[in-house]
Amino acid sequence: MQLSNSDTNSLLFSLMLENMNILCLFVLTTIGVRIDANVNVKVMIKQPFPAEFQSLESAIHNHITTAIQDWSSHFETAPCTLDVEFSLQNWANRGGGRSFASVNFENQDLPGKIILDQGASYEMRTGIDPNGEGTPDIEIFFDPIYFRTLWFDPDPTMRTATMPNQNEGKLDAYSVILHELGHALGFNGFLSQTTGQMTGNYLSVYDRWVNFDGRNFFFNGPNTLTFYGRPVILAHTKNGYHHVGEFEDMTDPNLAQDLMNGFALEYSHRYYISLLDVAILLDCGMTLQNTNRQNVFKKNHGNINDKMMNLPEPPAI
């Protein structure tokens, strides 16, 4: 039987969801990060770097490299090297992550609108570096005060070490870096945070699935609708619409526990890439990694029959 793109995506996520406990929405990978041989990572720490943090430079490299491998392990990738620039800069107890470059998305423009892809995702998918070899592809930065609250895991590939007590006020550095990389790979855009209107003649691959009803933002990508069953409400009160969940609408309180939530990351809590996060990045153009699909099926269905294994991969959209 020949499956259309939408049929393939729907069937894939239906198989994922069948008989799944709702908690699986928020925990896709729990122990161990699979290394993606296609994706190499180079981390450059911008100098001058404060003396009080120099002992953490190795941990910073390790956490960023492992977190990129964590994200890339869920998707089809091409051989590439992602260059990451890490820095500390004053920004009111916050951090940020983004791609340095935007790229036209597969020549898929809408009438009067240019669709832009995140440069890092484009490179991960195609192996083509849009801003030149050796030039930073991704920026991650933290305010120094905020950076002092981060706890670095002795082994971020396994994430089994005992975390600090909650009263110590420490955030899991790996979770925070994983979150910021989510923005660099797709959770990003150009819409007005107050009106939901375009700020130019361009949309990000994320923006094209975002609707604003005059009060709330919603993500309506086809893979996400198939997986989640309804539009996902996005943040606007306490954070940007590039995050899932809204503080003033707790219809689904589970969204507050998602890696890409717009509430806050809690002290002494590990966050993981969720199936919802993966679905959203599929809607932003990524393609599900075959090995990951097999592992998800094995986890939720036991042995996989040949019919499941022969399903075609959902194409990038």
Q: What is the largest CA-CA distance in the chain?
A: 62
Half-sphere exposure for 160 (CA within 13 Å, toward CB): 6
pLDDT confidence of residue 218: 98
In whole angstroms, give the CA distance from residue 253 to residue 265: 14
pLDDT confidence of residue 31: 56
pLDDT confidence of residue 291: 58
Contact partners, residue 219, CB within 8 Å, separation at least 6 = 206, 209, 210, 231, 232, 234, 244, 280, 283
pLDDT confidence of residue 7: 39
What is the token pair recorded at 24?
């699986």
Contact present, 45 and 136 (Cβ < 8 Å): no
pLDDT confidence of residue 150: 98
pLDDT confidence of residue 5: 36
pLDDT confidence of residue 35: 80
| One pLDDT digit (tens) per residue for the chain, 317 residues | 333 333 334 444 444 444 333 334 545 544 578 788 899 999 999 999 999 999 999 999 999 999 999 999 999 999 999 999 999 998 886 899 999 999 999 867 788 899 999 999 999 999 999 999 889 999 999 999 999 999 999 999 999 999 999 999 999 999 999 999 999 999 999 999 999 999 999 999 999 999 999 999 999 999 999 999 999 999 999 999 999 999 999 899 999 999 999 999 999 999 999 999 999 999 999 999 875 554 553 444 333 233 222 222 222 22
In whole angstroms, give the CA distance from residue 233 to residue 219: 7
In whole angstroms, give the CA distance from residue 76 to residue 126: 10
pLDDT confidence of residue 303: 34
pLDDT confidence of residue 27: 53
Nearest CA to 89 out of 152, 45, 151 is that of 45
Instruction: State how far the alpha carbon of 161 is from the alpha carbons of 11, 36, 153, in Å.
Output: 38, 23, 7
Q: 108 — phi, psi (to 5°)? A: -100, 85
How are beta strands 95-99 and 171-172 bridged, if at all? unpaired
Instruction: State how far the alpha carbon of 27 is from the alpha carbons of 31, 151, 301, in Å.
Output: 10, 21, 16
Nearest CA to 34 out of 300, 290, 258 is that of 290
Contact present, 5 and 46 (Cβ < 8 Å): no
pLDDT confidence of residue 205: 96
- Give the angle subtended at the CA of 102 by the CAs of 174 and 109, to the nearest 5°: 125
DSSP label of 91: S
How are beta strands 150-151 and 171-172 bridged, if at all? parallel
* Burial letters 223-253, b for 16+ CB under 10 A, else e: bbbbbbeebbbbbbeebbbbbbbbeeeeebe
